[in-house]
Structure 1
Amino acid sequence: MVDVFDRIEWKVREIFGKGPVCVHVGEVKRCDIKRHPTYSKFRKEALSAGIRSAASSRVWESLIAMGRLSDLDGDDTWRLVILDCIVPCFRGVAARISRDFRVEREEVQSAMVVAALEVWRDTAHGVPPRNIRDKMVKAAFEVAFRYASGASSEWSSDEIELMIQSEAFTQEPVLKASSIVDIHSIRNTDVAEQLRGERIGALFQLLGHFGVVREFHEDLRAGRRSGSVRQTMTTSMLLRSRISGPSLYYYTSDLYPPYIGLREAAAVMGVPESAAHRLIRVGQFPFPVARAGRSYKVSVKALMHFKDIPDVIVHVDDVENGALHVSGGL
C-alpha cells in the first residue's frame, strides 16, 4: 500500500531522475567538484551518514545548507530531499505503533513528518546545521510515541500532500523608501515596472559596470541564455510579456554569479573572514551557506536578502533606458 513516505520518495525521484545530483551548490555545472552521484546513490550515503553521525557528516551539512537556500527561493525541493533522507528511519516505529495501538499508520506517518517540518521551521536561525537532522528525528519519534500513549493529534495526511504538490512561487519586489518615488504608492503597475528597470540601469551605469549588463542583454535577445522569471508570472503580472514574451524579463540577481566565496561575502558584510567561519561553526551565521569540499560557497541571493538589496524583476528596455538617461544619451 502506497503511503506518505512513498509519495515523498517518488516526488524527489521525479525531480532528479537518473542524472547526477549536486548537494554543494545545487547545480552540477556550477560546482567545482567534478564527480556527482545519482540521487539513489546520494540517498544511500545520506541515510548511512545520518545513522552513523549526522553531526559530523559533511553530507548532512551540505544537505541542510541546500535546504535553507532553496527555502529562500521559495523552492521546497531540497526540503523534500531532507525528508526523503530521514523518513526511512520512521517506518519501523510508525508500523509498530499502528499495529500495537490500532491507529491508522498513515496518520502516524503524517504526524511524524509534520513534527520534523516544524523543527525545520523553528531551527532556521541560531541552531548549528549539524544538529538539525537529529532534532527532526527526535521530534518525529516523540509525536509518534504520543500516539502510542493515547494523546490526540490534529495532524492529517492532507497536510503532507501540500508539501508534495508543486508550488506556484511568486516574488513581490521590495524597494526601500529611500527612493524619491515610492514605487508601492504607484497604482499604475506599468509605470512601477518601468521605474524599477530604469533605476537598476542607472545604478549600474553610475558604477561603471553597464558593460556586463549590456552583454547579458545581448545574450537574452539572441536566445543564448534566459532569465529566471517564470512563465506563470510574466503572463499575469508583467506589462510586455504578451508582446516580447518572458525571455526579456529577468531578476537582477541574474546579473551576478550564483555563488561567491566566503571571503568575498564577509567583505560585503563588513566582517573578517575568520569571524564568518566562527559564526558558521556555531550556527550563528545570518543565512545558510553551501559546503563544497573544504570550502564554503555563499549564495548571492541569500547575501542580497541579508543586505536588504531588492531582487526585482526588470525588462531589458527599461534597464537600458535608465542607463541612457544618466549617461546623457551617449
Structure 2
Amino acid sequence: MVNVFDRIEWKVREIFGEGPICVHVGDIKECDIKRHPTYSKFRDEVISAGIRSAASSRLWESLIAMGRLSDMDGDDTWRMVVLDCIVPCFRGVSARISRDFRVELEEVQSAMVLAALEVWRDTEHGVPPRHVRDKMVKAAFDVAFRCGNGALAEWSSDEIELLFQSEMFAQESVLKASSIININGIRDVDVAEQLRGERIGALFQLLGHFGVVREFHDDLRAGRRSGSVRQTMTTSMLLRSRISGPHLYYYTSDLYPSYIGLREAAAVMGVPESAAHRLIRVGQFPFPAARAGRSYKVSVKALMHFKDIPDVIVHVDDVENGALHASGAL
C-alpha cells in the first residue's frame, strides 16, 4: 500500500532522476566541487550521516541550508529532499505505533511529517542548521507516540497534498515593444512595469555592462535558458505575458552569479569574515549559507533581500529600450 513516505520518495526521485545532484550550491555547473553523486547515492550517504551524528554532519548542514534557500525562492524541492532523507527513520516507529496501538498507519505517518514540517518552519531563524534535523526527528517521534496514546487531535493531510501539486505554465509567443516614457507619465502598474525595465537597462548601459545583458537576452529569446519568473510568478500579474508569455521576463538577480563566497558577502554586509563565520556557527546569520567543502557560499538573492536591494521583474524589451535611450540611440 502506497503511503505518504513512499510518495515523498517517489516525488524526489522523479525530480532528480539518475543524474548527479549538488548540495553545495544546487547547480552543478556553478559548483567548484566537480564530483557529484547520483541522488540515490547522495540519499544513502545523508541517511547514514544522520544516524552517525546529525549535529556534526557537514552534509546535513548543507542540505538544511539548501532547503532554506529553496524556500526563499518559493520552491519546495530541497525541503522535499530534507523530508525524504529523514522519513526512513520514521518508518519503523510508525509501523510499531500502528500495530501496537491499532492506529491507522497513514494517520501516524501524516502526523509525523506534519510535525517535522512545523519544526522546519519554527527553526527558520535562530537555530543552527546542524541542529534542525534532530529537532524535526524528535518532534515527529513525540507526535507518533501521542497518536498511540490517543491524545493527539485529528490531523489534516491537506498540507501534505500541497507538496505534490504541479505548476502550470503559460504558452510562449513573441513580442517586441517600444516604451520609452516620461517618469511623470506613470498612471498604472503596466506603465510602472515598463519604467522599471528601462531604468535597469539605462543603468547597465551607463556602467558599461550591457553587452553581458544582451547576451543573456539572446539566450532567453533563443530558448537556451529561462528566467526564474516562469517558476514563481503568475502570468496574470505581468503586462506582456498576455502576448509573449512569461519567458521573456526575468528577475534582475538572474543577471548576477547565483552565489558568492562568504568573504565577498561579508564585505557587502559590512562585517568581518570572521564575524560572519561566528554568526553561522551559532545560527544567527541573517540568511542561509550553504557549505561547500571547508568554506561557505551565499545566495546573491538572499543577500539582496537582506540589503533591501530590489529584485525587480523586468521584460527584455523594456531593458533594451532603456539602454538604447541611455546610449543616445533613441
- Please report the TM-score for the alignment, with normalisation by the length of structure 1: 0.89
Structure 2 counterpart of 1:203: 203
Q: Is the 8 A contact 1:9 1:84 kept in 2?
A: yes
Runs ≥4 residues deviating over 6 A: 180-183
Correspondences of 1:153-232 after superposition (within 5 Å)? 153-166=153-166, 188-230=188-230
Return the alpha-carbon distance in structure 1 between the equivalents of residues 288 and 263 of structure 2.
15
Instruction: Go from structure 1 to structure 2 and tell me whether the alpha carbon gap of 1:14 and 1:224 turns closer, same or farther (over 3 Å shift).
Output: closer
Q: CA RMSD in A?
A: 2.4
User: Which residue of 2 is the match for residue 108 of structure 1?
Assistant: 108
| CA distance 1:100–1:222, change in 2 (3 Å) | closer
User: What amino acid sits opposite 2:323 in the alignment?
Assistant: A
1:13-162 pair list within 5 angstroms:
13-162=13-162
Contact 1:231 1:246 in 2 (8 A): no
Partner of 1:251: 251
Structure 1 Cα separation of the partners of residues 159 and 220 of structure 2: 40
Letter of the structure 1 residue corresponding to residue 274 of structure 2: S
Identify if the C-alpha distance between structure 1 residues 232 and 83 changes in structure 2 by more than 3 Å, giving closer, same or farther: closer
Distance in 1 (alpha carbons) for counterparts of 2:18 and 2:78: 17
Q: Which amino acid aligns with 1:323?
A: A
**Separation in 2 of the partners of 1:313 and 1:160?**
31
1:73 CA displacement: 0.4
Query: In structure 2, how many angstroms separate the alpha carbons of the residues matched to 1:284 and 1:245?
Result: 40
CA distance in 1, matches of 2:256, 2:231: 21
| Residues 67 and 82 in structure 1, CA contact (< 8 A), matched pair in contact too | yes
State the alpha-carbon separation in 2 of the partners of residues 303 and 203 from structure 1: 20
CA shift in 2, pair 1:143/1:222, >3 Å:
closer
2:230 touches 2:247 (CA, 8 Å); kept in 1? no
**Partner AA of 2:285 in structure 1:** F
Aligned residues: 318
Is this contact kept in 2: 1:4–1:157, CA < 8 A? no
Residues 249-287 of structure 1: per-residue CA shift (max 9 Å, x gap): 221111101111111111111111111111111111100
User: Any idea what the Cα deviations from partners look like across 1:152-206, whole Å, max 9, x if unmatched?
Assistant: 323133331222323569xxxxxxxxxx9799xx663321210110121233234
Give the superposition deviation at 1:92: 1.2
Change in 2 beyond 3 A, CA 1:107/1:233: same
| Partner of residue 175, structure 2 | none
Instruction: State yes or no: 1:299 paired with 2:299.
Output: yes
CA–CA distance in structure 2, aligned partners of residues 297 and 182 of structure 1: 42
* Contact persistence 2:143–2:152 (CA under 8 A): no
Q: Structure 1: where are the runs of 5+ without partners?
A: 170-179
Structure 1 244/144 Cα, relative in aligned 2: closer, same or farther at 3 Å? closer
Residue 288 of structure 1 corresponds to 288
Partner Cα distance (1:232, 1:59) in 2: 28
Task: Provide the rounded CA distance (Å) in 1 between the counterparts of 2:297 and 2:51.
Answer: 26
In the TM superposition, what is the alpha-carbon distance from 1:235 to its structure 2 partner? 4.4
Distance (whole Å) between structure 2 residues aligned to residue 274 and residue 302 of structure 1:
20
